[in-house]
Amino acid sequence: NAGVTQTPKFQVLKTGQSMTLQCAQDMNHEYMSWYRQDPGMGLRLIHYSVGAGITDQGEVPNGYNVSRSTTEDFPLRLLSAAPSQTSVYFCASSYSTSGLNYSPLHFGNGTRLTVT
């Protein structure tokens, strides 16, 4: 199994450009999510989805859009890149997000984005 696959691994954008970070999982997980990781800070939730056709905002959603047309894919779109969006982005999936089910998050290996 490939697990969670993210592309690209690295990306440089100019301020104002748009792009899509791709995320795909082959574990048939219902729950998928996007995090950003910045130095000195914990992982922060951007958007998440509990199933195809359902998305919701996390802690830091501004400037990002998501969609979930299939169970496997959960792309993250940057509408108009800003230097504050320079970060490492992680996609994660889980069988369940419910704390009662104790399912771990499975992470991709990240996309390092630089906005100049």
Partner 1 sequence: KNQVEQSPQSLIILEGKNCTLQCNYTVSPFSNLRWYKQDTGRGPVSLTIMTFSENTKSNGRYTATLDADTKQSSLHITASQLSDSASYICVVSANRDDKIIFGKGTRLHILP
Residues forming contacts to partner 1 in the complex (CB under 8 A) are 4, 40-45, 90, 92, 97-100, 102, 104-105, 107-110
Q: Least distance to partner 1 from the beta carbon of 95, Å? A: 12
What is the DSSP pairing of strand 4-7 with strand 19-25?
antiparallel
Q: Which is nearer to partner 1, 16 or 38 (CB)?
A: 38
Pick 85 or 108: Cβ nearer partner 1: 108
* Cβ nearer to partner 1, comparing 31 with 64: 31
- From the CB of residue 70, how many other CB atoms can be counted at a distance below 10 Å? 10
Least distance from partner 1 to the Cβ atom of residue 12, Å: 17
- We find the least distance from the C-beta atom of residue 78 to partner 1, in angstroms, to be 20
Decide if 66 contacts 76 (C-beta within 8 A). Answer: yes
Number of H helices, E strands in the chain: 0, 11
Question: Cα–Cα distance between 71 and 94 in angstroms, integer?
Answer: 12
